Structure 1
């Protein structure tokens, strides 16, 4: 992450040298020296980040990151106060000299810790801290990655559209995080047979932090969108009354995604289907007890961890032997496999695949001492995938953790926030590109690496225009933990 911070500061100071030549008159040479030394220092940060578990290196990286921020602050303050007295100008000049002195001391510490310089000319995207190498174009249709659940989709769709006397009133998809429960539910929800069979469709995410009123409002808005403004004024009783009525009047499918506890259901159950209703309910949960509690007569589907043979069919198999070995270490979890595939598609050479192989095994081995907990092993894969990101993308990914769980983030707003925070580098602009287009390219690279989930403007006819983005709950946990570790941001529960 220090590499990302220094990259951003270097880009910002370079822009200021170009945009503010008059304001910086008198100190332009000194500032250029700071930029040059930061660029040199940046070449050591890839190796430093890889050794972040060493105490001395971790402190050194934190000091470099802080110094980069200080340099940016001093230069920007100098511009603001450029018209002030000569005394203030001398004061800012002294601060810049102080930064240069601290840089010299940090360079000595880099040498003392035997930290190696990384060549800017590396072919690997993860080792290229300069201009972002793009693997995704604006017009490329994003490939659909859906692991081994095609038969399950057909089976569950069949249960939902069954109108016989012994049909299931509830379909539940249960299992640990990373198994693909939500992905499977989305496939069913968007299936043509479902759209043709149900007059109303509603999807709402429950998660750990839920509010009954908001959940009921979201469901009703999906079912009777024309009454949105009116629905937002209704109290709980009226929300329940109308939701029951519409489920009786027309055939609806309501999806409760990621419901964690029986208490969450008990709080809302009065609003859902009765035995005489023509509507159906589908839920996803990490806890099978929730599904049983909701309705013992329901159908429960529990995805299994994939075996090695299934895994190998879903990984790009250009280097088959390495691919098979890597997916064996993914604990059979589809999310880990998808993340691994997102990394491998950015690595065109055999040498890079071998490096990924070595790094991935090392990351997974760190989880072995923690018992056989697959979730812990998965988290180490996710940490490794974050470390593999180009430096420009790391702060953009961490920024997403600031948004709420299951929140759909409008990308146009997000791009503006990234730009305002200085996370989008002007050095990544191509000819005639705007900064918004550069921000969009960052998002597409994150999508290409399977780090974020997105919704498109028209899911059926076009997959080239991103509408909103969100993080899988495990990816959000990763974003928050990494942001806290590098002092990027923190989360305060109120």
Structure 2
């Protein structure tokens, strides 16, 4: 995503310029000019990103812009790293005059080289901007998005009320439920009934069954079906309704076409108010479409007209009628999946001919005909890949329905994923495969959600993704716009959670678990949605997945066969390492490493780990890492040289041995989130945390190490999460200097420290943003916390615990 890359680079440049770093003086002007050029380019990229799917020329320009932005970032990050590394090792009073002169000349040469490279990249970006403008790409203002006319919507997505589908499984009860809701009289029923779910679930098929249901047909006098889709004209839809309701002659039609939009909406409104009509709005994509169309529908009046709508976006249903009836079709279970596949691929060919359907060509003894037994065996294995998605099952069944020889079925069996992407495996096919249908949901995403969606593809298949982890990663990766955070109540994390909610409402992620307050806690991706994600990520060079098993132990990490070498050399910025039955015995390799900025690790079996040698080499050679997330990866201790990763914005090593951390971790000036072993592996945590002024989330061990004598936390203005604050060696008054705390866990060793802690809850001081507070007292502490005193100083408190026991939970309104 070029726009995301440019935005992250702009944020990085802003960080450096606002830091007023002295060593930038020699190239400050060039960097500022580059910043101005990138700001202009970003306003063009929103339109360009939306058009690259269908226009090869735009796609090529976008790729070049992304590469130029990556090059600029590499040059700047390398320059900063070289200068900072030199500065950290300075001992001017002990260095000879000759050596100081040598270093000064070398610095001038570095400045000249960096300045000329930045000038060259800026010129290239400027020329690409001219090319985009010449080609007709628009410069969009802040908050403005591409118009619907810029989107690709195949005509085949249009639906019709009369088009039947005999291959229906598992929808009879759902259709009856929806029909019953629609025929309820007046105020006792919902005026808007919605069917919402991911693409391919059969929403239109279900709506069609309801539309033709006997109860519905007996109840309503007028029936109108319109497919809204992504490309729609409000006036055209209103006219369609008027023509169907009033059956006008030629003269009346001409009169309607001459009406103003407001007059047509009013005429339609009045007609629907007088009749008992069923209005079906199929495939309505966003809230704005409903807002525009709803002027013609009396959904808030005393009327017998009802609206049935289908959408891939749950927010459409909420906007149409917050109290309306919402039905979300589930994926098919195993039995229904097989029944649907059997209908499409087997039944129609077997019934007339028995076990041996006729072949299209001459029978060949070396290529035997497929038998029913073989069809069922191979079919049951293949249908599992559809994961209950009806469209995918129908696509697969359609592919196999025309194949009569066993080797043809076995070929499909071996290449199942490619056949689910397009009908008959033909990428030139005019019909939709399941992946093309799902891709419409991706194409419809607002530009700022696309990188967040693609980022999810780095997680393994069926992985339960914690909201906390996703939000911290998105913020650290610069995927959340940081402009004006100070001026708004909404933090970067709030925006990230809103983005996750929007992806869930569009059914691109599935909510697995919610917290007691109703927030999304765990989510996952449907397998076919993940396949879509991986396809789009590859098109955009977004990340590389490296799968490691013990069978790969003789290889080098960056020589993994899953890596596309041309890609890895020039464009690899994110790697996701999946460990499966892996002991960690593998080397990084000796060739030059790509400038990787983000590395994620996953142990898919719970015990695979990373060797100390590998983690040491990663830390020493991936010098530009901004994100290192090895949550739940074991087998190594935190390397001594990790403090040299001065660009880090997120570090998660919660399953690594902490041991002794060096004071060099104070170099992490840009660190936003730190998560280290929550248990007892720390020996020494240096008193440098107070230097990390940008910290937003800090997860410390319960046992901070016997060699740790003091920790300071004062004036970390951005800190929102502080887990395991050590009251024994830290001043509890430091907490009063943390204005943005939202979650706090405090470790209290005894009653005297508990008294000190309770003393900070003294009006007029308040923790204005604190939502969750946990106080853990040791065995020799006998007192309890003063609940009333805490609540008086924490106006937004939602959870309060002592020693893991819930004392106050706002949404259950309980006090114990």
- TM-score scaled by length of structure 2: 0.32
Corresponding residue for residue 413 of structure 1: 469
Pair 1:425-2:481 in alignment:
yes
1:115 positional shift: 2.5
Corresponding residue for residue 497 of structure 2: 440
Q: Is the 8 A contact 2:199 2:437 kept in 1?
A: no
Residues 118 and 91 of structure 1, relative CA distance in 2, 3 Å threshold: same
Pair 1:471-2:520 in alignment:
no
Corresponding residue for residue 508 of structure 2: 451
List aligned pairs for 1:17-166, cutoff 5 A: 17-52=17-52, 53-82=54-83, 85-120=107-142, 122=144, 151-152=173-174
| Matched residue SS, 1:397 | helix
Residues 94 and 410 of structure 1, relative CA distance in 2, 3 Å threshold: same
1:123 positional shift: 7.4
Q: Is the 8 A contact 1:6 1:42 kept in 2?
A: yes
Residues 49 and 413 of structure 1, relative CA distance in 2, 3 Å threshold: closer
1:305 positional shift: 4.4
List aligned pairs for 1:234-383, cutoff 5 A: 305-307=206-208, 321=237, 324=280, 326-327=282-283, 337-340=310-313, 342=315, 370=429, 372-373=431-432, 375-376=434-435, 378-383=437-442
1:466 positional shift: 1.9
Residues 180 and 487 of structure 1, relative CA distance in 2, 3 Å threshold: same
Distance 1:119 1:381 in 2: 25
1:414 positional shift: 2.1
1:16 positional shift: 2.7
Distance 2:171 2:110 in 1: 66
Q: Is the 8 A contact 2:13 2:35 kept in 1?
A: yes
Distance 2:485 2:148 in 1: 19
Distance 1:48 1:401 in 2: 23
| Matched residue SS, 2:479 | coil
Deviates more, 1:35-44 or 1:102-111: 102-111
Deviation track 1:151-174 (CA, whole Å, cap 9, x = no partner) reads 45999xxxxxxxxxxxxxxxxxxx
Residues 114 and 123 of structure 1, relative CA distance in 2, 3 Å threshold: closer
Residues 377 and 30 of structure 1, relative CA distance in 2, 3 Å threshold: closer
Q: Is the 8 A contact 2:465 2:524 kept in 1?
A: yes
Distance 1:397 1:23 in 2: 37
Distance 2:23 2:172 in 1: 62
1:20 positional shift: 4.6
1:380 positional shift: 3.9
Distance 1:27 1:490 in 2: 33
Distance 1:326 1:8 in 2: 39
Gaps (5+ residues) in structure 2?
87-106, 150-169, 178-197, 212-223, 239-278, 286-308, 321-421, 549-816
Distance 1:343 1:77 in 2: 47
Deviation track 1:354-381 (CA, whole Å, cap 9, x = no partner) reads xxxxxxxxxxxx9997355562552242
Larger CA Rg, structure 1 vs 2: 2
Corresponding residue for residue 459 of structure 2: 403
Corresponding residue for residue 185 of structure 1: none
Distance 1:114 1:154 in 2: 51
RMSD of aligned alpha carbons: 4.5
Q: Is the 8 A contact 2:6 2:66 kept in 1?
A: yes
Deviation track 1:7-62 (CA, whole Å, cap 9, x = no partner) reads 23223322332235434233223212111111111222233223323332221110
1:177 positional shift: 8.1
Distance 1:328 1:447 in 2: 17
Deviation track 1:315-358 (CA, whole Å, cap 9, x = no partner) reads 99xx79489565299xxxxxx954255579899xxxxxxxxxxx
1:63 positional shift: 0.5
Distance 2:70 2:131 in 1: 19
1:71 positional shift: 1.9
Q: Is the 8 A contact 1:126 1:389 kept in 2?
A: no
Q: Is the 8 A contact 1:41 1:107 kept in 2?
A: yes
Distance 1:150 1:49 in 2: 42
* Bigger relative contact order (CA 8 A; separation at least 6): 1
1:398 positional shift: 0.5
Residues 123 and 69 of structure 1, relative CA distance in 2, 3 Å threshold: closer
List aligned pairs for 1:181-260, cutoff 5 A: none
Gaps (5+ residues) in structure 1?
128-147, 156-175, 182-302, 330-335, 348-365
| Matched residue SS, 1:441 | helix
Distance 2:517 2:478 in 1: 31
Residues 61 and 179 of structure 1, relative CA distance in 2, 3 Å threshold: same
Distance 1:341 1:374 in 2: 24
Corresponding residue for residue 2 of structure 2: 2
Distance 1:121 1:113 in 2: 23
Distance 2:31 2:49 in 1: 26
Distance 1:340 1:106 in 2: 36
- TM-score scaled by length of structure 1: 0.51
Deviation track 1:203-241 (CA, whole Å, cap 9, x = no partner) reads xxxxxxxxxxxxxxxxxxxxxxxxxxxxxxxxxxxxxxx
1:485 positional shift: 0.3
Residues 342 and 369 of structure 1, relative CA distance in 2, 3 Å threshold: farther
Q: Is the 8 A contact 1:419 1:435 kept in 2?
A: yes
1:92 positional shift: 1.5
Distance 2:471 2:314 in 1: 26
1:480 positional shift: 0.9
Which structure shows the higher helix fraction? 1
Deviation track 1:294-320 (CA, whole Å, cap 9, x = no partner) reads xxxxxxxxx96441866989999xx79
Distance 2:138 2:499 in 1: 28
Corresponding residue for residue 208 of structure 1: none
Distance 1:343 1:126 in 2: 17
Q: Is the 8 A contact 2:439 2:532 kept in 1?
A: no
Distance 1:29 1:307 in 2: 63
